[in-house]
Amino acid sequence: PTAMREVFLETPKVRWSDIGGQQKLKKHLRKVIERPLKFPEKMQRLNVRSKKGVLLYGPPGCSKTLIAKALATEAGLNFLAVRGAEILNQYVGESERALRDIFQKARGARPSIIFFDEIDAIAAKRTGSHGGVNVLTTLLNEMDGIEELRNVLVVAATNKPDVLDPALMRPGRLDNIVYVGPPDFAARKEIFTIWMGKSVISPDVDIDELAAKTEGYSGAEIISLCETAGEAALDDEDESGQSQDIMRHHFDSAFERVKSQLTSE
Ligand code: ATP
């Protein structure tokens, strides 16, 4: 086991507009997270408590991390990111202390978000006898200790929601459960458009066609495809000695190299 790296406070710069697609989800999260921050008195009048936790689940590379960061950026929250496996990979007893330290740090930086990536590593069902049980208990206790969203929001992500202990999803904990799926046609178009807005693209590149050809790709795979096309353009540049925009044939060769790993659900 290795000592855990220090968890740093970040100020993410991801805006909602950097994320292609996911319109309904963005709108839902804005409402649930931003409203109580902006209008606590309205919540109080109607006796509605603000949410303390969000669980994002879905296949890899489909923007769970981006969404957590955008929540922080757009709502002006400090951001602490932790990987589940990183917490578990410690000497006995150290994991619990590491968790408590993270919550302490988040309280000190409030309003803040703690983002637990791969939450399944520390919050699997309490079956067997392995050492994760105390870690889960600590996590639940820490979450129950948070009073209001105005303090600390917990956002967790997983590719394996079915292994999570149901206690984690009880009301008042990670009770806002959101599926983050692979991008549909319109979302894929947006992801290409956002990326290409920061590049130099030849007019012979057809975004509709690219979006159609990337059915089943994750957002991460689409970005990888774009970057591979960019590298092909750089290869051309090396050969010709002239600067190259990214052209259709660069994407053609990128498709040879970048295949989707996402299995459809
Ligand atoms: P994992 O489960 O593997 O942690 P994830 O769902 O958290 O994956 P992200 O880390 O948010 O995925 O996405 C990986 C990268 O893919 C992003 O940094 C971004 O470059 C790209 N990406 C994914 N989805 C989108 C999207 N909807 N719009 C723009 N870029 C995207």
Q: What is the ipTM of this complex?
A: 0.97
Tell me the pairing of strands 176-179 and 53-57: parallel
Check if the beta carbon of residue 114 is closer than 8 Å to that of residue 82.
yes
**Alpha-carbon distances, residue 201 vs 4, 205, 232, 247 (angstroms):** 43, 7, 13, 6
Q: Of all helices (H) and strands (E), which one includes residue 153?
A: strand 152-158
Q: Beginning with the edge strand found earlier in the chain, give each strand of the sheet holding 112-117 in spatial order.
A: 9-10, 78-83, 112-117, 152-158, 53-57, 176-179
Q: What pLDDT score was predicted for residue 3?
A: 53
Provide the pLDDT for residue 4.
Answer: 60
Residue of 223, 227, 265 to mutate, ligand 1, most atoms within 8 A of C-beta = 223
Averaged pLDDT, groups of 10, the chain, 265 residues long: 65 94 93 85 90 94 96 93 85 86 92 94 74 82 76 94 94 92 97 97 98 96 97 94 95 91 57
- What is the model's pLDDT at position 244? 93
Residues within a 6 A CB radius of ligand 1: 19-22, 60-66, 117, 157, 159, 183, 191, 194, 219-220, 223
What pLDDT is attached to residue 91? 73
- pLDDT attached to residue 37: 82
63 CA closest ligand 1 atom index: 11
Q: Write out the H or E segment, with its range, that includes residue 53.
A: strand 53-57
Q: Distance between CA atoms of 82 and 156, rounded to whole angstroms?
A: 10
| Helix, coil or strand: residue 109 | coil
pLDDT at 99: 92
Alpha-carbon distances of 33 from 94, 155, 178, 244, rounded to whole Å:
32, 11, 13, 44
Q: Using the atom order of ligand 1, give the atom closest to the CA of residue 66.
A: 11
Beta carbons of 32 and 48 less than 8 angstroms apart: no
Ligand 1 atom 20 nearest Cα: 220
Task: Note whether 218 and 61 are within 8 A (CB).
Answer: yes
pTM of the model: 0.91
Nearest C-alpha neighbor of 204 from the set 176, 232, 233, 245:
245
Asked whether 71 and 114 are in contact (CB, 8 A), the reply is: no
Question: In this predicted structure, what is the pLDDT of residue 265?
Answer: 42
Measured in whole angstroms, the distance separating CA 69 from the mean position of its chain's CA atoms is: 7
Q: What is the pLDDT of residue 42?
A: 92
**Ligand 1 atom 15 nearest Cα:** 220
What is the pLDDT at residue 264? 46
CA angle (142, 143, 144) in 5-degree steps? 90
- Cα 145 to middle of ligand 1, angstroms: 31
